[in-house]
Each structure stands twice: as structure tokens, then as C-alpha cells.
Amino acid sequence: MRADRDDVFEDRSEELDSVVLAKLGAALGVLWSLLLYDALPAAAAWALSAAESLDIFAPFIEAPLQARLGRLGLFLGMVAAVIANESLTRLGRPFRLPHLVGTLAALGVALFPFLAAAHRVPLGLPADVFAVIVSYAYLVLKVTVGILIGATISWILIGHGVTTANRRRP
């Protein structure tokens, strides 16, 4: 009778160990997923915006505009990077050449007011209207850079086989 109880307790402890290990594995999987798909693109967008030596748009953008809209642009760029990475890597939506060309076209359109202001090209707009256009162009610029960051990271992750889109599809 005593041996039967020991076997029951051993079976229960093995079941408990396997359940704890399964829960720990699931928690680590969620943490890894958050780091890989969310924190990595957000950190890359933040690093690109925070590093003055990497900011290639700084010569075109005035310092007061960056001081006024810098945090909002950083936030929108980080969100765009996370959404692009999640959409491309996890959901398996491809970012092909037409999408890249469209994003680069949006980047060019967003850069136009800054280039016009830098070369003192009159656009025939009042100063306050031009300031609003430049503000929105700055935010569009940050969002498109975030999309490109997210797409680049997703290309790297897909190239290394780190994707969940294949596992979800039947």
C-alpha cells in the first residue's frame, strides 16, 4: 500500500513539473516575442532618432520644429516601426517593391517642404500655412522612416527564419 502512494506522489510531482515547465516556456516565449517583434523595432527607431550622427534629415529641419514636434515624431516613428514589423513578420504580409516605392515616394513628398525652405523657393503660401505644412511633413517623415525600419527588421527576421506566420497557417 505504501509503494502505491509513493508512485502516485511521484506521478503527481512529474505532472506538476511538466506543467510548471510548460507555463515557464510559454511565458518565456511571450517575452521573447515581445522583445523580438516589439522592443527591437522600437529601440531601433529610437536609436536612429536619438543619435545625431545618424539623423540624415537634421540639416534640412529647423531646430525649433524638432524641439516642438520631436517627441511626437519619435513616438509615431516607433509605433510605425512596431506595426510594420508585426504586420510583415507575424502576419506574413509581404513588403514588396511597390510598397517600398510607395514608402520612398511618401518620404520624398515629406522632404519637399524642407528642401524648398532650405533653398528659399517661394511656394506662394503664407508663412503660417507653410509652417503647418512643414509640421505635418515632419511627422510624415518620421512615420515613413519608422515604416522603413520595421520593414528592414522584418526582412532580417524573415531571412533568418524567425517568423510565426508559417506556424499559424494550416
Contacts of 134-138 with C-beta under 8 Å, sequence gap 24+, read: 134/65, 135/65, 135/68, 135/69, 137/109, 137/110, 137/111, 137/112, 137/113, 138/61, 138/65, 138/66, 138/69, 138/73, 138/110, 138/114
70-89 tens-digit pLDDT: 889 889 999 999 999 988 88
Model pLDDT, residue 169: 46
CA distances from 66 to 39, 49, 50, 125, 128 (A): 24, 11, 12, 22, 17
47: cell is 536609436
Are the C-beta atoms of residues 96 and 75 closer than 8 Å to each other? Answer: no
Ramachandran bin of 93, using left for φ above 0, alpha for ψ from -120 to 50, beta for the remaining angles: beta
Please give the backbone phi and psi of residue 16, each rounded to the nearest 5 degrees, phi first: -65, -40
Alpha carbon 145 to chain centroid, angstroms? 10
- What's the pLDDT at 11? 61
Task: Tell me the per-residue pLDDT of 12-60, one tens digit each, with 9 for 90 and over.
Answer: 667 777 788 888 888 888 888 888 888 889 999 888 887 766 666 777 7
For residue 126, give the DSSP letter: -
- Mean pLDDT over 118-144 rounds to 87
Position 170 confidence tier, pLDDT thresholds 50, 70, 90: very low
> What is the pLDDT at residue 101?
93
Domain locations along the chain: 34-168
C-alpha cell at 37: 517583434
Read off the pLDDT of each residue in 160-168 and give the average, rounded to a whole number.
59
Mean pLDDT, all residues of the chain: 81
Q: What is the pLDDT of residue 82?
A: 92
pLDDT in tens, 5-14: 555 556 666 7
115/165: higher pLDDT: 115
78 contacts 46 by C-beta, under 8 angstroms: yes
